[in-house]
């Protein structure tokens, strides 16, 4: 029986960040779905089942924390990882308080991304 691939939704308004995450995660065998902001991510989540959401904190229309709050209303068990270029402790407290499983600072290293993604998905690093 074939092992099912895990699908990760990457939400970031920065195309270069989405590309980097897509390359890192596809190399590890994950399927990737992308959205450029939280509004598009919510639309995608209505039709596409995913196993993990990686979202940037700051985006136009609907940022990562707002996305996380809206997701928790419908999909409380879906793991969410918040990424940001800013290391504000209050941000991380808010993200974790809203149910994020972890956070990651930009610029990130491949090993850090994979370690956190595996942890969020319950896999051994």
What the chain holds in terms of domains, given with CATH numbers, is 7-120 (3.40.50.2300)
**Do the beta carbons of residue 56 and residue 16 sit within 8 Å?**
no
pLDDT digits (tens, 9 = 90+) for 34-62: 999 999 999 999 999 999 999 998 888 88
Query: Which residue, 73, 61, 65, 58, is CA-closest to 17?
Result: 58
In the prediction, which pLDDT does 5 show?
Answer: 87
Q: Where are the beta strands (DSSP E) in 29-124?
A: 31-35, 52-56, 80-84, 102-105
Residues of the chain with pLDDT under 50: 1-2, 124-125
- Residues 16/118/55/73 CA torsion (nearest 10 deg): 160
């Amino acid at each position: 029986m074939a092992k099912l691939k895990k699908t990760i939704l990457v939400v970031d308004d920065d195309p270069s960040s989405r590309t980097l995450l897509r390359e890192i995660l596809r190399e590890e065998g994950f399927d990737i779905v992308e959205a450029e902001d939280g509004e598009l991510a919510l639309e995608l989540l209505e039709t596409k089942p995913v196993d993990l959401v990686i979202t940037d904190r700051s985006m136009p229309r609907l940022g990562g924390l707002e996305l996380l709050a809206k997701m928790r209303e419908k999909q409380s068990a879906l793991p969410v990882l918040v990424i940001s270029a800013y290391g504000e402790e209050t941000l991380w407290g808010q993200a974790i308080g809203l149910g994020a499983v972890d956070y990651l600072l930009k610029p990130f290293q491949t090993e850090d991304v994979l370690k956190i993604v595996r942890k969020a998905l319950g896999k051994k690093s």
